[in-house]
Structure 1
Amino acid sequence: MSILYDEGQEAIARESRRVLEARVSKEAMLSLLESVGRYDEGFWATAKEQGWTALSLPEAYGGLDLGLVELGLIAHQAGRSLSGAPFLTAGFGVAKAIALYGSDDQKAAWLAGLASGETIGAVAFAEGANALPARPALTLAAGGLEGRVSGVAGGLAAEVALVFAQGPDGPVLAIADLAEAERSAIESFDNSRVYADLVFAGTQAERLLAGEAAREAALHILALQAVITAHEQTGGAEALMEIARDYAVTRKAFGQPIGAFQSIKHRIAELYALVELARANCIHAASREGKDDFITAAAAARISATEAYDTAARDCVQIHGGIGVTWELGLHLHTRRARSLAIEQGPLFFWEDVLVESLRGEAA
């Protein structure tokens, strides 16, 4: 597809931005920082009301049967507004795995709830900095799922988790009902992500795939989530760039706007370039879903969006000077979110390795 959106997609972007700017407030996000176990319930209620949870799922299960491009548009606006819940991305990952790899019974059991948003999903693959371990510490045998997964985004509130485990004959992709799992909340610098450690002790889990196909499917789901997260990061970076620009043309020093100084104007120009590069990579990656080069495109989007958001969070604070670090201004909300999104779906090094390996395969 073109790297420009069509008329219908532009309408989705405009309407979602209008709704989120009206309903998501900085004050609400500030209050969540000091409270463990709470998330932005207003945002999640809006996501369900607007049908965003159903956007990319099959119509047969209550979905709207749109694509990754449209869901990316919603995530972009969520990033701009600092929406305080991780469930849109994780729920999509769980639902997509079931839709692609699950049985008819599994689809009937889970997809309608995930599409409506009444069921919250989480994806529990990572072990430390390893987003997709070669040999998972989780094990799945006849006795059920055993082991521990740390730092699961949304894990404290989720009802179902998509897990990557070690089975008797190799890796397994499975879904686990979290009603049987033990959870412990993690206090973090971005508490609205409701991170949790999940402990499984004989928890019943339903297999989706096993063997090498399970590993390939897990990477595919991770890449889908990485594209959504990259859109969210790009939205945050865009918002920070605009905040920095607006401040630079109004704040004066030595009789002129600080935006007239090269050290400021060059930084804002660099942020613009980073945002537009990330935006183009995100659109391209979303449009390549189902194609042979999707993993490569997803890795490129993830890397460029992480760089854009991290850089924008740092430079926007510096452009504001001393006021940039105050609680009331709220720029630290973006700084915290930039850091949390940089590790969800795998850190930068993981996606750099994925990109190198995929390009090496193409070169060979």
Structure 2
Amino acid sequence: MRELFDNTIRAILADQLSPEQVIAAEGGEFSRALWNSLEENGVPLALVAEDHGGVAASLTDVCGLIITCGEFSAPLPIVETMLANYLLARKGLPPLNGVVSFAAGDELVVNAGGVSGSVANVPWGRHADLILAPAGQSLVVLATGSASRCEEMTNTAGEARDTLFFDGATPEQTIVLDGLASELLLLTGALIRSAQTTGAIMRVLTLAKDYANERVQFGKPIGRFQAVQHQMALLAEQAAMAKASCEVAFARSAMEFHEDSITAAKICAADAAGVAASVSHGVHGAIGFTHEYTLHISTRRLWSWRSEFGSATYWCRRLGDKVCKSGAEQFWPGVVEGGFPSPV
């Protein structure tokens, strides 16, 4: 099934998404034709059960799909919609129709008068029909049309990261959880951003490799110079590390989100993103900084995505706190087993 998903999403994006369209999206355009094509191929419902119109795929099945979305810098919340529907499916609820997004910031209050407060950093908020947001121990589904105000903002890549304000809005659905809803959405967001970051790293690796083999200096391709080869090897190493950690996180989260694996994936992807951006621009030289060349499309997303849903510093501190609180006797078992008990 994974091969089918990977081939399908790659064929759609290669055929229907150009660098010019990605740039246009940074100016506020929303590719409705691309969204419709993804809907027709069932991508938003990939993780939903068959009796609700999906194909009952696992997170492992869609790992490559999300990596490919990052590789092509897909300028719409297809992965957010897919994971939002997955979270509802885990509760036995039907999927949501239309463009869906979510954010992890917990600034909403639910009372008899409705939902009030704000939701910050909503990916593609201005284009979404619905958003999934945390309110204490509840997930609330809100129609963006019920927002009293939308403060439009963007990340470094020019992608919409809006703040929506609500004043007594009536939620479409309210799902009560056992724990904090913000924690669930944070882990979900960190998981998908680690995969998208990995995809962008794979793209800059390809661009740098092709350029190094084509650009001739002193009578031979620059890729034959030892210094460039060393940098390319470093970039390939980082790409492999990010991809491996991402694959592990998706595999170990097949039943329940595995916090430590997601933490490792986010840290590895964020660290690799910095190396990938630096090395790829170094290999390309001046042309890599021009707007006409496509390298910046990926590197600006690397700089943006590595900090979304928690930066490397945030996740390192969080992991370090768990390790310290679990005690010295649990350190080696935790390393071997790939996880540490959560602090009480």
Shared fold (TM-score greater than 0.5)? yes
**What is the CA–CA distance in structure 1 between the aligned matches of 2:313 and 2:114, rounded to whole Å?**
33
User: What residue in structure 2 maps to residue 238 of structure 1?
Assistant: 202
Q: CA contact under 8 A between 1:296 and 1:354: conserved in structure 2?
A: no
Counterpart in 1 of 2:249? Answer: 285
Once residues 322 and 61 of structure 2 are traced to their aligned partners in structure 1, the CA distance between those partners, rounded to angstroms, is: 26
> Which residue of 197, 207, 218 corresponds with 2:174?
207
Residue 326 of structure 2 corresponds to residue 356 of structure 1: no
What amino acid sits opposite 2:295 in the alignment? L
Distance 1:190 1:41 in 2: 20
For structure 2, the 5+ residue unaligned runs are: 332-340
| TM norm structure 1 | 0.82
Aligned to 1:222: 186
d(CA) in 1 for partners of 2:205 and 2:9? 20
Q: Tell me, yes or no, if structure 1 residue 197 matches structure 2 residue 176.
A: no
Could you tell me which of 4, 9, 12 is aligned with 2:2?
Answer: 9
Q: Which amino acid letter does the alignment assign opposite residue 152 of structure 1?
A: V
Shift of the 12–176 alpha-carbon distance from structure 1 to 2, 3 Å rule, reads: closer
1:80 maps onto 2:59 in alignment: no
Q: Does 1:125 align with 2:93?
A: no
Q: Deviations over 1:202-221 (max 9, x none)?
A: 112343125xx231x54234
- From 19, 28, 39, give the equivalent of 2:21: 28
Partners of 2:51 and 2:183 in 1: CA distance: 26
CA distance in 1, matches of 2:306, 2:70: 13
Paired residue secondary structure (1:156): helix
- Which residue identity lines up with residue 246 of structure 2 in the other structure? C
- Is contact 1:29-1:40 (8 Å) kept? no
Residue of structure 2 in register with 1:174 after alignment: 140
**How many residues of Structure 1 are paired with residues of Structure 2 in the alignment?**
326
AA paired with 2:196? E
Aligned-pair CA distance for 1:101: 3.5
State the secondary structure of the residue aligned to 2:124.
coil
How do 1:36-115 and structure 2 match up within 5 A? Answer: 36=28, 38-85=29-76, 87-101=77-91, 107-108=93-94, 111=95, 113=97
Q: Structure 2 vs 1, CA of residues 353 and 62 (structure 1 numbering), >3 Å: closer, same or farther? A: farther
> Mean Cα displacement is larger for which, 90-99 or 259-268?
90-99
Higher relative contact order (CA 8 A, sep 6+): 1
Alignment of 1:292-311 (within 5 A): 294-311=258-275
Shift of 1:188: 4.5
Partner of 1:146: 116
Q: What do the CA deviations read for 1:157-180 (whole angstroms, capped 9, x no partner)?
A: 2222222224xxxx4332223221
- 1:299 & 1:75 partners in 2: Cα distance? 17
**Structure 2 length-normalised TM:** 0.86
Q: Is the 8 A contact 2:108 2:134 kept in 1?
A: yes
Is the contact between residue 79 and residue 192 of structure 2 (CA under 8 Å) also seen in structure 1? yes
Letter of the 2:277 partner, please give it.
Answer: A
SS at match of 1:277: helix
- Pair 204,293 (structure 1): closer, same or farther in 2 beyond 3 Å: closer
